[in-house]
Amino acid sequence: MSRTVRTTCPYCAVQCNFDLHLEAGQAVRITPTRECPVAGGTVCKKGLSALSDLRHPDRLTTPLLRRDGKLREVSWETALSAFAAQVGPLLDTDPTQLGVFGSGALTNEKTYLLGKLARVGFGTPNIDYNGRFCMSSAATAMNRSFGLDRGLGFPLADVAKADLIVLFGANIAETLPPVMQFLKAAKDRGATIVNIDPRSTPGLSQLHLNLYPGTDHLLAGLLLKLMGEWGRLRPSAPAEGQREVLDSVAHLTPEQVAAACGLDVDDVLKLAQLYAQAHHPLILSGRGPEQQTNGTDTVSALINLAFLSGHFGKPGGGYGTLTGQGNGQGGREHGQKNDQLPGYRHLNSPADRAHMAAFWGVPESALPGVGKSAQDLLLSCGDDIRALVVIGTNPAISAPGAPLIRERLAALDFLVVIDVLPSETALMADLVLPGSMWAEEEGTTTNLEGRVQRRRRAMTVPGLAREDWRILCDLAHAVGRGEKFRYADFPSLQQEFFAATAGGKADYSGLSAERLDSGTFQWPISHAQHPGTPHPYFAPYATASGRAQLHPVRMSVPERPALTLTTGRVAGQYQSGTQSRRNPALKGTPDVQMHPETARQYGISQGQAVHLAGPHGETVLPAQLTPKIRPGVAFIAFHWPGSANELTSAHALDPHSYMPAFKSGAVRASVQPVLPAHSPPLRSFSALNPLPVPGDSR
């Protein structure tokens, strides 16, 4: 029997829609959805090739328990009994010794359930997620200025209305390809596009400023000062902190900033003139300026510029940040972040705590406080954290200082991984629970515009795998704490989730699966007739005073090591590569990109093996020489074992957002006589060598 199911792409935060065509219950083809409210029928190569993930031969279909040093197939009964035996005593004595590590790939409903499980089921404060490594600096800056964090406070269609688009560290062509159509539309209407990045990446820009990593705040501060000198300041609304912000940039000069950023002063002044003359300038930031130890301050500097020059919150202008992961926006709104409760409520707010305690039917005193943030949580493994539950993420590869993180994971008494394929983290686990993939589950995701869309189940999970939401409930029941985790079916969980957000800043309570069948909506959506909120940033803001809270930024010049490592994505892979490295349609191998001038300093030639050393580890990669990267900087993508995060620092964090410094770190380089085989191949299900256990019932 043939049928078609419309759903959302499992990859980036654009969340394109496509139709899955099924024959006899199996997906056989993907076609883009022309009615897609985001991308209008555009799907990139990752989305179009996503079918290969669904029935991959490496797919995990049976629980695996480590016995005698090997992961062996067991029944669910045995798996859950092992979980109870290891985790139950911790919860009875000290629940803080259990950690939970989530993912920006989870649906909103699973995000909600994971946070509820950690706090209500397990009683631990120690839950965070891999989105801490993605959006936390921008989220922190937006929250402290406006009391609200929505990456884009406008629909993507508004991008085409801008007459100047300034991209700060946003490699859109490779990371969010469907967004390129909106840049092109703006350019076709006469807009100028400026790319500010240490690398010249594919795109449509007419001006490229290849500044030194970590100096974006200086450039933003200078632009603000020049707007003041040129009479271009007209605040978007009444704000607090305006005088202090202007004082903080008063000492900057074009010559000083150009020298600190490694730029030509004429290019800096050209950018300033373009910004001053634009009627609808739009600043879009990506991870470049955000994944720094000063990432929150840098985003604040960009906010200050857009707000005080009168462009913030207006259609076709202002500032926005480009969320990366598929549900990166929804993932940080509903409780898996260490300081948050559903609806973007905060654990430190007495009113928010009281509200959610009453909703869940537990004493307010029973709700834990703010726990460890992601990197601190991982670094505490084996010490304060004795057991860890990981779902849908691969920190053994994706966390900064990966060699040290793997040491900490290995020091745990009990590591549980819920996933669909044997990632490097799953291969370290004591218990692996096979979960559900994107086409095998219902739910909602929230894209980079704050647009909530429906994900529809097209297929059932294979073998003994279970839908993730059921597994989370199973864990609560296994340790005798399942009273609050009894759901007759998924719709009952979804209805609870929508209701839990009512009255919060990220209010989804006006939604239902049926309503999402007729359209998509940008939050907040507070009742069933609410049309959604395409433009949420307007006065009075969601701050205590109702005014914007502008924050002065310390205009310090970062140290410049001999060779600076910056990291990022490439178009042919995604995140830690658990799925994309297995996909034959997606290509790429790890290398280190260097400017020819830098390579000459180290005696390195094209393709030659380069030995690189960081604070926690080392690796050897082939050199890819290109004039499209500034001298003194090396770029490595993070999708492979033995690549970027072998070299990043596990300890360098932004003091406000706890974001690691993925984009700037000192590395040492030297010529390696022999180039080893590139990253080891992903181990398959069969490579786990599971053996049946005598007497283990199925």
Q: pLDDT (tens digit, 9 = 90+) per residue, 396-455?
A: 999 999 999 999 999 999 999 999 999 999 999 999 999 999 999 999 999 999 999 999
Q: Do 181 and 287 lie in a common domain? A: yes
The answer to the question of residue 679 being in a domain is no
Q: What is the pLDDT of residues 71-114, one digit of tens each?
A: 999 999 999 999 999 999 999 999 999 999 999 999 999 999 99
Mean pLDDT, rounded, for 641-670:
95
Whose tokens are 């990139």? That residue is 44
Q: Do 307 and 346 lie in a common domain? A: no
Query: The domain spanning residue 622 has which CATH number?
Result: 2.40.40.20
Is a pLDDT exceeding 50 seen at residue 680? no
Range scoring the smallest mean pLDDT among 328-332, 469-473, 626-630: 328-332
Let me know the angle formed at the C-alpha of 172 by 169 and 178, rounded to the nearest 5 degrees.
160
DSSP H helical segments within 107-202, as ranges?
108-116, 136-146, 172-175, 180-188
CA distance 199 to 589: 19
**How many Å is the maximal CA-CA distance in the chain?**
81
Q: Which of 263, 288, 321 is the last residue of a domain?
A: 321
DSSP 234: -
Is a pLDDT exceeding 50 seen at residue 691? no
Please list the residues that pair with 70 across neighbouring strands. Answer: 67
Measured in degrees and rounded to the nearest 5, phi and psi for residue 415 equal -115, 125
Q: Do 409 and 375 lie in a common domain? A: yes
Q: Do 272 and 316 lie in a common domain? A: yes
Q: Do 184 and 96 lie in a common domain? A: no
The answer to the question of residue 682 being in a domain is no
| 3-state secondary structure labels for all residues of 50-97 | CHHHHCCCCCCCCCEEEECCEEEECCHHHHHHHHHHHHHHHHHHCHHH
CA distance 510 to 527: 4
Provide the pLDDT for residue 447: 95
CA distance 11 to 328: 11
The answer to the question of residue 695 being in a domain is no
Does residue 209 come out as left (phi exceeding 0), alpha (psi in the -120 to 50 range) or beta? beta
Q: Which of 296, 321, 346 is the last residue of a domain?
A: 321
Please list the residues that pair with 207 across neighbouring strands. Answer: 194
Confidence category of residue 676, pLDDT binned at 50, 70, 90: low
The counts of H helices and E strands in the chain are: 22, 29
Q: What mean pLDDT, rounded, does the chain reach?
A: 93
Mean pLDDT, rounded, for 117-128:
98
Is a pLDDT exceeding 80 seen at residue 565? yes
Q: Do 443 and 381 lie in a common domain? A: yes
Does residue 473 come out as left (phi exceeding 0), alpha (psi in the -120 to 50 range) or beta? alpha
Task: Say what the pTM is.
Answer: 0.94
Q: Do 16 and 45 lie in a common domain? A: yes
Mean pLDDT, rounded, for 311-316:
83
Q: Do 120 and 190 lie in a common domain? A: no
For 452, the enclosing helix (H) or strand (E) is: strand 451-455
Mean pLDDT, rounded, for 486-494:
97
Provide the pLDDT for residue 677: 60
The answer to the question of residue 510 being in a domain is yes
CA 6 to chain centroid, in Å, comes to 24
Confidence category of residue 203, pLDDT binned at 50, 70, 90: confident
DSSP 293: T
Query: The domain spanning residue 314 has which CATH number?
Result: 3.40.228.10
Is a pLDDT exceeding 70 seen at residue 562? yes
The answer to the question of residue 546 being in a domain is no
Q: Do 177 and 303 lie in a common domain? A: yes
Q: Do 86 and 21 lie in a common domain? A: no
Mean pLDDT, rounded, for 230-240:
95
Q: What is the pLDDT of residues 527-561, one digit of tens each?
A: 999 999 999 999 999 999 999 999 999 999 999 99
Q: Quote the number of domains for the chain.
A: 4
The answer to the question of residue 585 being in a domain is yes
The answer to the question of residue 557 being in a domain is no
Range scoring the smallest mean pLDDT among 38-47, 418-427, 468-477, 529-538: 38-47
Q: What is the dihedral of CA 495, 499, 505, 511, to 10 degrees?
A: 50
Q: Assess contact for 393 and 399: CB atoms under 8 A.
A: no
Provide the pLDDT for residue 678: 52
Q: What is the pLDDT of residues 249-273, one digit of tens each?
A: 999 999 999 999 999 999 999 999 9
Q: Do 156 and 272 lie in a common domain? A: yes
Q: Do 475 and 514 lie in a common domain? A: yes
For a pLDDT cut of 90, what percent of the chain falls above it?
Answer: 85
Does residue 581 come out as left (phi exceeding 0), alpha (psi in the -120 to 50 range) or beta? alpha
Domain that holds residue 604: 564-671
The answer to the question of residue 694 being in a domain is no
Is a pLDDT exceeding 70 seen at residue 690? no
> Structure tokens of 228?
């003041």
Beta strands in 463-563 (DSSP E): 521-522, 548-549
Is a pLDDT exceeding 70 seen at residue 490? yes
Does residue 460 come out as left (phi exceeding 0), alpha (psi in the -120 to 50 range) or beta? beta
CA distance 683 to 666: 32
Is a pLDDT exceeding 90 seen at residue 694? no
